[in-house]
Every structure is written in structure tokens, then in C-alpha cells.
Amino acid sequence: MNYTELLQAIQDYTENTETSFVANIPTFVRQAEEKILRQVLIPELRKAATGSTVANSQYLARPSDMIAVYSIVIQDGSGNYSYLLNKNITFMKEAFPASDTGLPKYYGQFVGGTTSTPGYFILGPTPDAAYLAQINYYYDPPSIVTAGTTWLGDNAETALLYGALLEAYSYMKGDSDLMNEYRKQHQLAMQAFTKVGGLLQQDGYRDGEEGYSKDEANV
């Protein structure tokens, strides 16, 4: 399903072509996409970013389009690779003060809230040199609204359609029975879709623990 087809389907289901409603359909679709992408990890929407740690700095930037980590790999000075283990921020702060340096073995997350403040990783021990780091992660793809066709539109069209309809009917303050039916259909589509992906906030190397916001971590 491309965006033109999705747009028409939403208008057909709602039987609403009122100007302000149609103008808000892109918002309904984006809201539906966001909820799907934050409930399910999709292997096809995974990529890698490489960079380097900084000697005597605990911090490593998070990619601005990152939804969730798959794994983080560090290469030492001899060319050996190792996967970092995910720990929560409380553990990281207590176990690895900034003065504790060496080859990183663990990471935690300070989660930002926007693409301009995506947050960052804290490493433990603090890197004692510049090490090559590769972040393998699930990313936030372009919306079908702007791209026209997307992986979600091609492979999760039922979940996307009913998710958008829920947002649309909420805006319209639509019939509660119909809302419940759309909610049921969306849940069924998401249950089937989850079997393809996985639950959010899982590290591909080791089941992760939830990241903390910068404010929660008090840094």
C-alpha cells in the first residue's frame, strides 16, 4: 500500500472528505507509524553507524535516527572485536566512576527525546584510548507521507491502516463501537506483526535494560 492508496482508504472508511480532516490525515498516519515502530523491532529497519571513542571520556553519541540498540561492538588495539553488555544507568554510575579506565565492556543509555537531542551512551570502564565503535541499531525510517512507499506500507499495511483509522476516529470523536472494532483489528494485526519482529528495548547480544533519561540519571 502506498500513501495515495492509504489516504484514499482512510477517507473511504471514515466517509469523511471535510477539508480540515483531510489536512490532518498525514498527522494520523505519522502517529500510527510512530506507535508501530516503537512497539516492534523490525529486522529490515536496522543499520550500523561507526565512530570512535574518546580517551578519558565515558560518552558515545547515539545516532539521531535511532529507535533501539541491536548491539554495540568495540575493536581493541589488536584488532579484536567484543560486544558490550547493556546495563542500566544506576549500575553504570556505581560500578564505573569516570576515573576507572580501560577497554569498555558495558554500556548504558541516556535517552533524549528528539532528533536534535538523541541522547548518548555511557561506557564502562571509561575508554583509555580511541577505540573503533560500531553501533548496530533499529532506525526511524522516512514516513510514508513523504516517501510515498515504505517497508511498513508494503509489509504491515493492515496495522498501519487500522492504526491511522484509530487516530482519525479519535480526532472525529467517532462511534465507540466502531472505534472498538478498529482497535481490535489493529491489535490483531500488531500481534501477527510482532511475531516477525521482537519486543522493543532488547539488545541483540544480551537482553537490555531500559535506558534512563539524562534528568533521571542526574548527570
pLDDT at 217: 32
Same domain? 111 vs 208: yes
Average pLDDT, the chain: 87
Same domain? 50 vs 81: yes
Q: How many domains does the chain have?
A: 2
Same domain? 70 vs 84: yes
Alpha helical stretches, state H, the chain: 3-14, 19-37, 89-95, 144-147, 151-155, 157-172, 176-194, 214-217
Same domain? 163 vs 99: no
pLDDT at 33: 96
Structure letter (DSSP) for residue 143: P
Same domain? 66 vs 124: yes
How crowded is the C-beta side of 116, counted as CA atoms within 13 Å? 0
Assigned C-alpha cell, 88: 542500566
Kindly give the pairing relationship between strand 119-124 and strand 132-139: unpaired
Q: Which domain holds residue 29?
A: 3-41+141-194
pLDDT at 212: 33
CA dihedral 149, 151, 156, 157 (to 10 degrees): 0
Cα–Cα dist 195/126, whole Å: 38
Closest to 171 in 3D by CA, of 51, 65, 16, 55: 16
pTM over 0.75: yes
Same domain? 113 vs 205: yes
Same domain? 127 vs 168: no
Same domain? 127 vs 50: yes
Same domain? 115 vs 154: no
pLDDT at 148: 97
Same domain? 63 vs 170: no
Q: Kindly list the distances between the CA atom of residue 129 and the CA atoms of 58, 74, 82, 132, 176, in Å, as whole numbers in the listed order.
A: 11, 12, 15, 10, 60
Low-confidence ranges of the chain (pLDDT < 50): 200-201, 206-219
Burial class (CB in 10 A: 0-12, 13-18, 19+), 79: exposed
pLDDT at 147: 97
Same domain? 57 vs 114: yes
pLDDT at 118: 67
pLDDT at 193: 81
CA-angle at 21, arms to 20 and 23, nearest 5°: 65
pLDDT at 165: 96
Same domain? 69 vs 133: yes
Identify residue 70 by its one-letter amino acid code. Y
Q: Kindly list the distances between the CA atom of residue 86 and the CA atoms of 51, 60, 105, 169, 210, in Å, as whole numbers in the listed order.
A: 19, 14, 9, 40, 9
